[in-house]
Structure 1
């Protein structure tokens, strides 16, 4: 038993050391890009999201409160009929975000961070439909039209302010003070 435990501890320590070393090595490569005069996204090329984003001092930030899905059918009898499933709700929120950004002279390409709350879907075994959210995200970000891969947190929550809401999204955008902002 002692030998097995010693082996597990040794393997764990070596694994953590390797991961830490790789993390520090890749962080060192990013140091020069931190001094860039443009927004810089960091992370794995194979990931749909960025692990971090550097926003220079010359940029302003625009924060969006938690945004909930638009009503699709006020006479619908179920959550899905009224607001759609998680994917449809997320698409509605992102379309509204896109329109709101446009009124400010910005676009989804200016979004640097998303914080997403996903509630249980009664039609998905009362579990959050993360894949529905991921599929909606993939329609708007990390695409040919918008190659931006935001930094992002996705959090499963017990409920949102309405039992019909399966997702709520907060967003942060960064923009240059001079040319993009409308006052």
Structure 2
């Protein structure tokens, strides 16, 4: 439910655990029906659904939680999802935010907490933009999917950023917690 990469499976096709097209609409219907059936005042239940501010996340979350449709609250389900997400556990060559990385460094190797899908690579620019992305020579996952070395060239006395985006994911499609590599080279 929280995995954006899988959202298409919930929205448009039948590639979900229920083999149901437009699953997100079906679940919305079931939540509304459950709220309606639980209400003693059916008119008030309909009025609440019509007047609900669908741009207000806390109102939506309260409405969904009150229905009791899911096995737990949305917040608890989200926390469980977040706990499953892989993350970058280390940079082999230096500590993140280091200000004295050698400009002679030719590789940055990231280590993951879980085996990643080696077919998918997803990195982008940090908030400083393209000018602060190192010159990339190549990038390929290790065969075991637990690390990814970036072959790079660096200039002295320059700040660099690489953003690992949540397009990177495990083989069972749980997206990476985004990770910003931010460092500066020495003179």
TM-score of Structure 1 vs Structure 2, range by shorter chain: under 0.3
TM-score (structure 1 length as normaliser): 0.26
In terms of fraction of residues, the more helix-rich structure is: 1
